[in-house]
């Protein structure tokens, strides 16, 4: 994969794809600008050398329509604050005249359906804005879109510093051992590919989240009203053949999914009928901590309980705090895990917090992504 430092961009117009798909509140204000901050090393590197940088990103899910609330205006203001330079924001991403300004931000790419369709003509129009293309949008590099894949047909292309950093941190082939992975989340169907590919590589794989109940059901245990993917029972049995996979020994169950519901902690083979499993129990939390103490490298992706409700966030919060103090390389795999880390104000305590949830999992599984693969040519 060709990287930015291998390309001479002196005096050129750089077309830079970033992932500024930042979370917004109901007023359209930016809640968290982590992704913007993560793009700054590449942006500053480019600004020192290039004639001009033309930045493109998407925001939200406008589904090919012009949505006023998803315009890039607020992003432009926040970016201006971080780079200390004027950012000229345009009203569209194609069919526009690029002004002679140092930093230009195009309008939301996904206002055009052609972006997600990887339309060749649309990609060509985007490419016409620059002399060289730099992809630094790791979080969307698992998508073959016009701005990540299509433009590479029309411009010399390379990866930015953030993508380089993500790839280096998510390649576990040379990880210091013991390597322990924690996988949470609700659906085994979503996480199976990465779990299956990781099991031969890791020393232990600790499992949390609602997917544990699919495993328990495959063992013939009562799971009450807990979430279960019945079509993944065989998949669960397959994974359980590997002794590296570690399931929780106790869970927090409740009469319903709410803060006020009755709740209690039970052994995993004693879940009452109609009760719902919502978090890991204290015994499991302590067991996971004991196992993690010996790790030299840890990767975590996916919440361990229904963390959106404070009552069932204990496992996710306790283990996040524990990992923050661990003398090991700890990598957070984006998505909900990154949101938990941010909520607890512990982002700076980890070796690496990925900007891509789905992208990080797919990269670990396949060793590449569609938008990275095209940078090899």
User: The whole model's pTM is what?
Assistant: 0.90
Cα–chain center distance at 133: 23
The reported pLDDT for the residue numbered 26 is 87
- Residue-range domains of the chain with CATH: 4-167 (3.40.50.1260), 171-366 (3.40.50.1260)
The reported pLDDT for the residue numbered 357 is 85
The reported pLDDT for the residue numbered 302 is 93
Query: What is the C-alpha separation between 356 and 338, in angstroms, rounded?
Result: 9
Are β-strands 13-17 and 52-56 bridged in parallel, bridged antiparallel, or unpaired?
parallel
The reported pLDDT for the residue numbered 212 is 98
The reported pLDDT for the residue numbered 135 is 98
The reported pLDDT for the residue numbered 268 is 96
Tell me phi and psi for residue 93, to 5 degrees.
Answer: -105, -15
Profile the chain (377 residues) by mean pLDDT over runs of 10 residues. 96 98 91 94 98 98 96 97 96 97 98 98 98 97 97 98 96 93 95 93 96 98 96 96 97 95 96 96 98 97 95 97 96 90 94 92 92 92
Query: What is the C-alpha separation between 258 and 279, in angstroms, rounded?
Result: 12
Tokens found for residue 176: 């210091």
Nearest in space to 170 (alpha carbons), one of 374, 329, 341:
329
């Amino acid at each position: 994969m060709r990287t930015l430092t291998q390309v001479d961009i002196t005096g050129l117009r750089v077309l830079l794809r970033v992932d500024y798909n930042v979370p917004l509140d109901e007023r359209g204000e930016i809640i968290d600008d982590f992704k913007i901050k993560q793009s700054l090393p590449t942006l500053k590197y480019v600004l020192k050398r290039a004639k001009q940088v033309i930045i493109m990103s998407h925001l939200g899910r406008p589904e090919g329509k012009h949505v006023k609330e998803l315009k890039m205006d607020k992003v432009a203001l926040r970016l201006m604050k971080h780079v200390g330079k004027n950012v000229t924001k345009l009203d569209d991403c194609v069919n526009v005249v690029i002004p002679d300004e140092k930093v230009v931000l195009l309008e939301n790419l996904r206002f055009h359906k052609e972006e997600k369709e990887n339309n060749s003509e649309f990609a060509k129009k985007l490419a016409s804005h620059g002399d060289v293309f730099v992809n630094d949008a790791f979080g969307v590099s698992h998508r073959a879109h016009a701005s990540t894949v299509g433009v590479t047909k029309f411009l010399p292309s390379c990866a930015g510093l953030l993508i380089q950093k993500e790839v280096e941190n998510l390649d576990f082939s040379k990880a210091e051992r013991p390597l322990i992975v924690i996988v949470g989340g609700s659906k085994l169907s979503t996480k199976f590919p990465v779990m299956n590919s990781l099991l031969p590589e890791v020393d232990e794989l600790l499992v949390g989240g609602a997917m544990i109940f699919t495993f328990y059901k495959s063992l013939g245990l009562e799971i009450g009203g807990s979430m279960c993917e019945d079509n993944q029972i065989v998949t669960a049995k397959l994974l359980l053949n590997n002794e590296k996979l570690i399931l929780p020994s106790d869970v927090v169950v409740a009469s319903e999914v709410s803060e006020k519901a009755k709740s209690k902690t039970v052994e995993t083979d004693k879940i009452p009928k109609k009760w719902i499993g919502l978090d890991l129990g204290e015994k499991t939390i302590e067991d996971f901590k004991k196992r993690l103490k010996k790790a030299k490298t840890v990767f975590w992706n996916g919440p361990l309980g229904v963390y959106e409700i404070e009552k069932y966030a204990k496992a996710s919060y306790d283990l996040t705090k524990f990992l923050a103090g661990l003398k090991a390389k700890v990598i957070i795999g984006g998505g909900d895990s990154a949101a938990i880390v941010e909520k607890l104000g512990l982002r700076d305590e980890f070796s690496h917090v990925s900007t891509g949830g789905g992208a990080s999992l797919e990269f670990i599984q396949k060793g590449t992504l569609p938008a990275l693969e095209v940078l090899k040519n």
